[in-house]
Every structure is written in C-alpha cells, then in structure tokens.
Structure 1
Amino acid sequence: MDSVQVNRAHWDERASAHAASRGYNIQGFLDDPEYLSEVVRFDRPRLGDVRGLRTVHLQCHIGTDTLSLHRLGAQVTGLDFSPASLAEARELARRAGADIGYVESEVYGALDVLEAGAFDLVYTGVGALCWLPDIRRWAETVSVLLRPGGRLFIREGHPTMWAVDETRKDGLIALEFPYFERPDPLVWDEGGSYVDTDGVQFTNTVSHSFNHGLGEIVTALLGAGLDLTMLEEHDSCPWDFYPGATVEDEQGEHRLAERPERLPLTYTLQARKRNV
C-alpha cells in the first residue's frame, strides 16, 4: 500500500470531524479574534516576534495553528496534502476574516507549489513528522524554502514517546516501537482519533507512520545547511497520550501522573539557515 494514499484518505475522512470537535475549538477562534491554538500559545515565548515574517506552515491540517500565526502578525501560507483538510482551513480563515493562502501538496513536493528561498520562517506543529518516511528529504525541503538567515520552528512529539506502547493497562513505560527511522512504516488500524469526534465512525482506519530519532533530525538539519539555535525537551504534550496514566494541567498539557521526569513527550526546536 502506498503510504501517501493511505494517509491522505485517513486525514480526508477526519477533517470535518476534527473541525467539529471540541478539541480544535473552532468556535473559540470565531468568538475571540485574539484566540490562539494551544500549540502556538505554549511556544509563544520561544517563537518570538513573527510580525511581517513570510511564513509557511507545513502540514497545516485544518489551519488552527496557521490562523494563530496570522494573528501574531505573520504573513502565512498553509500547505497540506489533504484537500478536505484544506477546505476546512480555508473556511475557518474566511469566517475569521483572515487573509491566509493555502496550497495542496505533499511536503516533499512543496517546491512545486512554493517559491524557493521565499520564506523567513518555516513552521511545523505537533504530530507532523511522524507521517514522513525520510527525515533528510524533509530537512532539505525546509532548507530550500528558507531564505539565508531564515529559521525553522517546530514543536513535535518526542521520538521516545512515539516508541512507547500506550495501550498497556499497568502504567509501565515500555518501548515497544522503533525509535530510529526505518524504511518500512508502522501500520496502524484504529477507528478513532486523537480528539473527541462524538462517536463518528470512520471507514479509513488504516494509517502509516514513521519515527525519527532526535539525533537523526538534528543531523539532517545540519546536513541541509541549518544551524541549531534551540532544542528544548518537554515532559508534556497537548493530548492524552497514555490514557489512565496522565494528568492534565490548566493549559491543556498532559504529562505522566507519576514521576513525569522519566519521559520526554515533546520538544521544541529552532534552526537557522546559514548565510553561506
């Protein structure tokens, strides 16, 4: 099975359910013109001033983080391979009165629809890299999109977390799945989603994912001409990754209920493209 086709069908089917979900809180964006997504809000102190920056949000899904960057003053373009997700993103932007452009493409085909060297900032949110089979190709794409001196900013699920078997009922942390990148995908068959979709029954239940070690990610960026300027690991993530073993804080972040210092759940990374 082709992973791109499998995953596109998976995301196309979930786009409208995600837009209707309380987890994405579309109504909050429409009610409050200053409302930001939890993902962008978490990293706002690290993100810095993005006003006026030409920004591309890779793997933007239904556009809540994209709209949040726009509200912080960035000139944003969103890119995603799911036409159904882009339809929801465009509708959110329209209803919010936000001037955001969206383009349909896989990440690896971004240069077919976007101009090389045109961006001050490449942004990627949580839960994106795991759908890409080749982290080096991703880093090369990011580098070509950026102008010299431009930066990449990403918050992502930690590869150690992706390797954990979260279905265990005993609360033990067991590393069951690959930490390092492998050529063959992990194949999942799951009927639900990571946010509450009010009992929607999905038919495209199969998805393919790929893990990438933290060293592999950093090495890929260095090899593509970017220099690391920040790498911060977090003991929390914005969803309940291990039901029954986590607690939620007032910001909507989840961490292990017992000794959360044992496990990194997400990380924030920033890198700048070299001037030469």
Structure 2
Amino acid sequence: EPAIERARALAGDLGIKARFIHSNVYNLPDILDERFDIVFTSYGVLGWLPDIARWARVAAHFVRPGGTFYIVEFHPFAQVFDETPGVDDLYVKYPYFELPEPFKDDTGADYADPNAPLQHTTTYWFPHSLGDVVSALIDAGLRVEHLHEFPFSTYQFLPFTQTMPDGKVRLTKHDGSVPLLYSIRATKPAE
C-alpha cells in the first residue's frame, strides 16, 4: 500500500517510533496481540463499516484494562441532509437510522479530490445512529464517560457550510442548531 509506505517513510524522517498495519479492522485481533492505553477512532470511519457492534468489540479488545477509547466523528444527524452542490438549506435526503442495506452511491466523486479520475466509482455507506454507537461501545464492555456534541465540523461535507476565521466549519443558516460532530470518551474497567 502506497499510503502505508509513505507513513513509514515520514515516521522514519521525523524519528517517530510508529508501526503501521494495513488490515480489515474486523480482522485486526487475529493479526495484532497487544493492548493499548488509548485507542482512537477519527473522522469519517464509521459509515464505511457494516457492523457497528463488531467494530466496537474490536476497539474494546485493544483497550487495556484501565485504558481509554476515544472517538470523534461526524454526527449521524448531520448526515441525513442533502449534500448536493447548490442546495442551500437543511433538507432531509437520507434516513438517520440503520438500514437493512447500505446506501449505494454511483456518482464516482472522491471527497478528497472531486476531480480525481476513479476506476471504481461505486461506494457503499452504512448509517449508524448515535444510540447505536453508544450502545455498541457499552455492549463491548466499555464505560462511556462522556458524550459531547458540537455545532461545528472540521470539514465542509455539506454545501451550505463555511469555514470561519477560527477554522471551524459552520452552517451558513441555522448555525448552532444542528450537531455536526460528536465525541465519546469511554474506559475499560480495571481488572
């Protein structure tokens, strides 16, 4: 994988002790037999995963007793709105709750570079409600310490948002009325 090789090169150049593993997240417990003080999941991960309960079990598996799991993610409520370019207000296009089948998108657009030529243009998206995420973490044996919701984002994933001078992305209308991000801190009880 070019991204993994690039990450290894950067870590080497910077003198950072880091290990990069390329794996399906669900298979990681078969590949890696370690526990960590902190397990972190970042923006834009959960929608690509079909089984949120299985993901939570994998995350909890790697948290050492007394350790912390932390996630910051785009709020699932903000992902119900129409993101078509030119849309200028909050119009519900997608359901909030998990579906039996994922969304199928054949637009062929890459969020990182909308003009990039793609060979494989179909993507699938799995919506997971905030309740599904919290319940999955609890069911996996983690104790939720806090859940925070934020009226801003770090990325313009809706056309009716703008980046403010402080770097936060906010709605151009209804600012502060819709959660755009959330974070959860959970811990694994000490043995």
Report the TM-score, using the length of structure 2 for normalisation: 0.91
| Separation of aligned partners in 2, 1:88 and 1:209 | 27
Q: Report the Cα distance in structure 2 between the residues aligned to 1:185 and 1:91, rounded to whole angstroms.
A: 36
The aligned runs of 1:83-162 (5 Å cut-off) are 83-116=1-34, 118-162=35-79
Q: Residue 151 of structure 1 contacts residue 270 of structure 1 at CA under 8 Å; is this kept in 2?
A: yes
Structure 1 counterpart of 2:103, one-letter code: L
Q: By how many angstroms is 1:168 displaced?
A: 6.2
Superposed CA offset, 1:91-144 (max 9, x none): 33233332210112111111012115x111100110001111111111111111
Change (3 A) 1:251 1:92: farther
RMSD: 1.8
Match of 2:98 in 1: 181
Match of 2:181 in 1: 266
Q: Superposed, which structure 2 residues align to 1:17-96 within 5 Å? A: 83-96=1-14
Aligned length: 191
Task: State how far apart, in whole Å, the 2-side matches of 1:112 and 1:250 are.
Answer: 45
Q: SS in structure 2 opposite 1:101?
A: coil
Distance 2:180 2:15 in 1: 35
Aligned residue identity for 2:81:
V
Gaps of 5+ in 1: 1-82
Q: Is the 8 A contact 1:239 1:252 kept in 2?
A: no
Larger helix share, 1 or 2: 1
Equivalent residues of 2:47, 2:128 under 8 A apart:
yes
Residue identity opposite 1:263 in structure 2:
V
Kindly report structure 1 stretches of 4+ aligned residues shifted beyond 4 Å. Answer: none
Give unpaired runs (5+ residues) of structure 2: none
Report 1:181-220 matches (<5 A). 181-196=98-113, 199-220=115-136
TM (norm. structure 1) is 0.64
Query: Counterparts of 1:236-275 in structure 2 under 5 Å?
Result: 236-243=152-159, 245-275=160-190
